[in-house]
Amino acid sequence: MKKLLISIILFITFLIIYFLQANFFSNFTIAGISPNLFIILVLFIGLYANQTMGIIFGIVIGLFLDCIYSKTIGPSAIMLCIIGFLGAYFDKNFSKENKITILFMVVGTTAIYEFGLYSIRSIILQYDFEVIDFIRIVLIEIVYNSLLTIIFYPLIQKAGYTIDRNFKRNNLLTRYF
């Protein structure tokens, strides 16, 4: 029952993030580049809930974004699914207690997501891969995402532990050994 409630809350969080991204961050940019909060959300779900949740949320959010904006359905879903999977992988292999570790995870997943998405799109839609401009965009996005992670880290950690307690009740502590 609690798991269902948490899933509903996470979905509502996604909707809030969507409206923030569409209305607020589209105007509040760094050098014309807006952050990508969906990456942080899916990484966070994979990290604190479990692999299945991370992958399911990744696919659902990705499909939603593809359906709304893109001509091709699938690229965002594939990449966010990978981010959800990576979140769970990071959970098994790294500690979530350290802010720096979380920050590195955000930097890595943002780079992987954007590179993957841009590559898939450039292949499907047959446009030139503009390396320098792409790197510039991704670097600014990474900085923006990292800043938001630092700002919201206390909230992420608090909400994360609540999710963690409900999804991983049986293997607390022992899973690190």
Contact set with another protein (CB under 8 A) = 21-22, 25-26, 32-34, 36, 65, 68-71, 114, 117-118, 121-122, 125-128, 130, 133-134, 137, 141
- Closer of 9 and 30 to another protein (Cβ): 30
Q: Minimal distance in Å, beta carbon 61 to another protein? A: 12
Nearer to another protein, 23 or 52 (CB): 23
> Do 90 and 105 contact (CB within 8 A), yes or no?
yes
Q: In whole angstroms, how close is the CB of 63 to another protein at the nearest point?
A: 14
In 8-91 the beta strands, taken as DSSP E runs, fall at none
Judged by beta carbon, residue 97 or residue 128, the one nearer another protein is 128
- What is the enclosing helix (H) or strand (E) of 158? helix 131-167
